[in-house]
Structure 1
Amino acid sequence: MKAAVLRTFGSPLTIETLPDPVLGTGEVIVDVVATGVTNYAIDVFSGARNYLLELPVVPGPGGIGRVRATGPDATRLQVGDWVFCDPTIRSRDDAANPDMILQGWTYRSAAALRLHRFFHHGSFAEQMLVPTENVTRIGEIDPADAGRWCALGRLLVPYGGLLAGDLQAGETLVVNGATGGFGGAGVAVALAMG
């Protein structure tokens, strides 16, 4: 498969041919159709953000694609399904306090490094290996609209916050303007929720 690879911080991404992902239990292989590029990607790629990221890596947090293959424990996903791939991967051995990574973007602790090494490559590739629980069917979409569906990753963060805050339709929400893209997404989600 073709992929954009970050070999060293401060160097441009290079297009390379890498081995296709190998499917296991609890995993899905997705043909990536669209993925977003964060406005601070240059700071990650240059090393200025000091993100924990073991190189070389195929960057890219999350995306939209079609299921290529599912593991034997998937019961509803079908080959060809359109899906959203959530980049927030959690370890499975401590549900109350899981170690987490953003696939293809960063890991947060020494314990999460093992997870980062396993689900290492992100969505700047033709295919990616994703935990089954991180793949959500989105129904039939026009392939030309796949890029628009990448906004889900931005919208789900404030949506989770609004749900956790138990905000109800008609209540007032104040959003700090300095929160950038997530703040703007929070306003859009709050309006959609009433």
Structure 2
Amino acid sequence: MTVKAAVLKDFGQPLSVEEVADPALGTGEVIVDVAAAPVLPYMDEVFSGERPYLLPVPAIPGAGAVGRVRAVGPDATRLAVGDWVLCDPSVRSRDDAHTPDITLQGLAARGDGGLRLHRHFGQGSFAEQLLIPTENAFPIGPISQAQAGRWSALTLCLVPYGGLVAGDLRAGETVLVSGATGNFGSAAVAVALAMGAGRVIAPGRNEAMLEELERRFGPRLRTVRLSGDEDGDRERMKQAAQGPIDLVLDMLPPSVGATPVRTAAMTVREYGRVVLMGGVGTLGGDDLALPYPWIMRNNITIRGQWLCPRPAVTRLIDMANAGLLGLGAFEITEFALDDASQAVTHAADRGGRFALTVLRP
């Protein structure tokens, strides 16, 4: 038996849509019929080799999906055939609870252990069917086929949600989102407000996007136009907060230098928290230089966070089902699987803020 999938045969080549072997079900695994798979705006950079992610080729790319359960293993006690599920692409090893190996299914492995996971679970969601660990299938409740693309926006929101959870954001607190005018950063703004942030500070240079954020979110959002002057920008961000900044979440991409990260991080209050989730430094350049005395004397907590912890996925789904996180804010553009290469180009050119490109196998 075969299924249709988009295959990346080598970096720098367009995706090839072809028939591949259908996934074989094992214990602890679920097969999902993919209804919608998000196409991230930077996937063209990965497929071209510009972003040197650890993705052995040939590969079926695609990180995350919304679909319906086709088959479950013998150890599944709650999932049933036909359930609508969100497929979390963060696949973790099960034989080390303290430091599990991890692979981002269909996009990037981490180290030798991640590569071993990739050999079994690495084929992603740009396909008619997807094999995932049982624990990576999260029920979202009954939806229609037409709603699947919109629900796949949760895979975008999961990333900043993981950072906000890691930073222990509490209702009423002030959070600064560094990179707020980007794809993941703008999603972070929406998620932080849905979590009850009293105020969100959104710095950036993109005037049009800053104005859009202001229109969308109203008085709980304060924007700051960045000038490039480190001291001046830091002072303007503090003034916009009109009080202490409890948490700084960095979502800046690899193309940005370390200076804007440091500028934003050092706005945080004494005993504040800084969470680093962006790509700064992954393509080279200067490392982040935060002053040791400032960290120590102000009791600053600095934490790195890659992806989202599994328990947070259910909470984010609950927020969407409760209407706290409005998925209707996302503009969805859908492509057929046969047009996967065009979808990748569209996501790079027009994906952007509160816009999501989706494949519909």
Q: Shorter-chain TM-score category?
A: over 0.9
Please, which moves more after superposition, 107-116 or 127-136? 107-116
- Which residue pairs with 1:160 in the alignment? 162
Of residues 120, 123, 130, the one that matches 1:121 is: 123
3-state SS, counterpart of residue 68 of structure 1: strand
When the two structures are aligned, how many residues end up with a matched partner? 194
Aligned residue number for residue 15 of structure 1: 17
- Aligned partner of 1:100 in structure 2 is 102
Question: Could you say which residue in structure 2 is the equivalent of 1:181?
Answer: 183
In 1: Cα distance, 2:30 partner to 2:116 partner:
19
8 Å Cα contact 2:65-2:87 kept in structure 1: yes
Change (3 A) 1:74 1:7: same
TM-score (norm 2): 0.52
Structure 2 Cα separation of the partners of residues 64 and 49 of structure 1: 26
The 1-side partners of 2:127 and 2:110 are apart by 23
Code of the residue aligned with 1:3 in structure 2: it is: A
* 1:100-127 CA-partner distances (Å, limit 9, x unpaired): 0011111010222111101121000000
| CA offsets 1:121-179 (integer angstroms, 9 cap, x no match) | 10000001000011100000121110111111121222232223222221111111367
CA distance in 1, matches of 2:29, 2:68: 14
1:145 counterpart residue number = 147
Shift of 1:14: 0.6
Secondary structure at 1:187 match in 2? helix
Of the three residues 5, 13, 26, the one matched with 1:3 is 5
* Aligned-partner SS, 1:186: helix
Map of 1:30 onto structure 2 = 32
Q: Which amino acid aligns with 2:14?
A: P
> Structure 2: which amino acid aligns with 1:18?
V
Q: Which amino acid aligns with 1:167?
A: L
Q: Deviations over 1:30-77 (max 9, x none)?
A: 000001111111111111111111111110001000000000000000
The CA distance in 2 between the partners of 1:162 and 1:8, in whole Å, is 36
Q: TM-score, normalised by structure 1?
A: 0.96
Unpaired segments ≥5 residues, structure 2 = 197-361
Q: Moved runs in structure 1, 4+ residues, more than 4 A?
A: none
2-structure distance, mates of 1:50, 1:156: 23
The residue identity in structure 2 corresponding to 1:61 is A
2:192 is paired with a residue whose SS is helix
Name the Cα RMSD after superposition: 1.2
Task: For 2:114 and 2:105, locate their aligned partners in 1 and report how far apart those are by CA, in whole Å.
Answer: 11
Matched ranges for 1:39-78 at <5 A: 39-78=41-80
